[in-house]
A and B are shown apart, each in its own frame.
Chain A
Amino acid sequence: MFAVLSPRFRSIENVQNMVDAAAVLAVVTCGITFVLLMGSIDLSAAGVMGASALTVSLLVANNRNDNDLGLLGIGVAVLLGCAFGCLSGLALVLLKVPSFMATLGVSAVGLGVATLMFAGVQPNISDAMLKGWAIERFLGLSYLTWIAATCVLVGWLLQRYTRLGRYAFAIGGAEEVLALSGVRVKPYKVAVFAVAGAFYGLAGVMVTSQLGAGLVQAGSGYDFSAITAAVVGGTLLTGGRGGVLHSAVGVLLVVVLTNGLVQIGVSPYWQGGVEGLIVVAAVAAAVIPQRRRNQVVK
């Protein structure tokens, strides 16, 4: 549809552009998908990404200190994300706080940690490799896009071929059965949140590479966008259905939508509204075929 309305939309350049723009969202969505599969929800992306963005920008070559850890710094940032995920998971299984609140709390903690590290001066990165991620291209797509594609692949492998992924799926399907079968569910829940956290951590690093600086707000808006993308892709909020590939499709849909709206020149005021409408419509369309009278919808 957008292709008709705007010839530019079809251009190869724009396709590249759209795929590139989808990179970060794809990584975040990958992570959130695992949590959604369990039937939980994760709102911690914004905070975790902020914290990891600041961490990485302070650990690789930058204008604030003499660190130059390169890949190691990136690893630390991803691990930090992982640790935040663990925190959410532990709050869920040990304190029995619903994931909605636990992750909201962790998000606030993440933003706080990020603000602490920010300390009033923006850390700009000068690490050539990290900056290069956003600029260098391979087969026409930026490295970041390839990283995102790898993440989707890794996510799919995790989901299909590992116990963690299959159990995340099963927890969403029938958690009580796992317990009856002698599976200790709690460690897997924590692990799933940790994996999701690692994805957010990486996403934070990617945003830093794109912006060339560590921003506390690196992840703002990504939490709801990722949930939207996952849901549009067909991953249910109730858990047990969907998956990483579904979500990847959802991400592309959302990005095409945003890009298309700009391309056909929809007024910026209306853009958010049209996006909202289309998300609702997409889900409604997906629901119609399986609509039955007595189905429970929450």
Chain B
Amino acid sequence: MKITTRPTVILLSLSLAAALTGCSEQAAGGGDSAAAGGCKPADVKLVGQVRNESNPYEASWLTGGDEFAKTVGLTQQRLTYGGDSTKQQEQISQLLAGDTTCLVMNVLPNGDSDTAAIVKGADTAGAYLVTQWNKPADLKPADYKTWISHITYNGVESGRQIGDALATAIGGQGGIIALQGVLDTAAAKDRFAGLQESLKKNPGVELLDQQTANFSRAEARTVTQTLLTKHGDKVKGIWTANDDMALGALEALQQAGRAGQVAVVGIDAVPDAVKAVQDGSMTATVSSDGTWQGGIGLAIGFCVATGKLAVKDLPAANRAFFAEQFLVTKENAADFAQPKTNPSDFECGNVFKRVAGALT
């Protein structure tokens, strides 16, 4: 214990000294903004960041990113943060502490709350950034120089689309249960809002119960099991906020011996869900095309970094937009069975082709 006094004193005096020498807003040596976009293609560094590789949808992101990187002769640095907001921030700030002049990031923020910090960090460091899915409404790419775009999907619409599909499947009459996603996400809230819109349109459909299963297959199975016992045969359909939960619900139905009698809908169009739609055990899902998402963010950033697009020329509608999404039903499921990328989607002239409307 003898050693403790000295470092303590040194530290306290250091911090005092520091207070006297004054503070600055940012770390020295950072932030040489390169919004001009004069990078050589070979100098561009591509980074894709998602929660984890152990989920098919996000894994397809990284695949898409890799495929795009291949078309321009680069490799993508794959980052995963295991659904841990703090870890995501830590990775980003570490990344931004390196060479940021030609850095292009395609980021899936863990939640709305995480976006602001990522954006501010990238803006200060002058790194090109495309974010997807999560963003607080009052944070706008238009206010920043290197935050090129924010891409998201109209959750209300997808929630309503599958809600309607579900209503049709059960003949517009009967009880359904809903499994919500992680409650602290815009996606979960929007999708549920969509379901409520759909319920208004279909007065015959009654929402018996709603619980969260946190976007997780395992939790969805347990919750469904419980709700099935609680409501018994009144349950005609199950609305879930993503496909993982839909698949969990399917397992629960199978175990309850009610497979095929209850309609299930989900969102994301992961391969298993598409297959389930194909063989009829699921009614519908919505595809946002994960591989495209993984590639497009990098493509937009690459085009701006190499000067083929200029941020200031982009129309407001392209800075924050809903991307096109597709309702997958038995009829068109075959088209979505194998996720594939189309290199032409990633050409600089085409990167904004799927804009389905400005984000309001």
Contacts and interface: CB of A to CB of B under 8 A. Distances in A.
Task: Report if A and B touch in the complex (beta carbons < 8 A).
Answer: yes
Interface of A: 6, 8, 11, 13-14, 17, 20-21, 114-115, 118, 120-122, 124, 134-135, 142, 207, 210-213, 215-218, 220, 259, 262-263, 265, 268-269
A8 B230 contact: yes
Contacts of B56: 120-122
Nearest to A9: B230
A120 B230 contact: no
A122 B273 CA distance: 11
Interface stretch (B31-39, B93-101, B216-224): B216-224
Contacts of A121: 56, 59, 271
B54 A17 contact: no
A207 B225 CA distance: 14
Interface in B21-60: 52-54, 56, 59-60
Given A114-B54, A120-B63, A121-B56, A213 B247 contact: yes
**Residues of A contacting B: mostly:** helix
Given A121-B59, A135-B254, A211-B218, A217 B226 contact: no
- Nearest 4 pairs of A and B residues by beta carbon: A216-B54, A120-B59, A17-B229, A268-B212
- Count chain B CB atoms within 10 A of each CB in A6, A17, A118, A142 and give the residue with the most: A17
B248 interface: yes
A8 B54 contact: no
Contact of A268 (B183, B218, B271): B183
Nearest to A260: B226
A211 B62 contact: no
Given A122-B56, A135-B254, A259 B272 contact: no
Contacts of A13: 229, 232
Given A122-B56, A213-B217, A21 B226 contact: yes
27 contacts: A8-B229, A11-B229, A17-B225, A118-B53, A118-B54, A120-B53, A120-B63, A122-B56, A122-B272, A134-B251, A135-B257, A142-B255, A210-B255, A211-B217, A211-B218, A211-B248, A212-B250, A212-B251, A212-B254, A215-B54, A215-B217, A215-B218, A217-B216, A217-B218, A220-B218, A262-B226, A263-B230
A211 B251 contact: yes
Interface string B156-187: 00000000000000000000000010010000
Nearest to A265: B209
A71 to B, nearest CB: 21
Given A8-B229, A13-B229, A262-B227, A115 B221 contact: no
B217 A21 contact: no
Given A17-B225, A21-B225, A213 B218 contact: no
A262 B226 CA distance: 7
Contact of A135 (B53, B211, B255): B255
Contacts of B53: 115, 118, 120
A107 B59 CA distance: 22
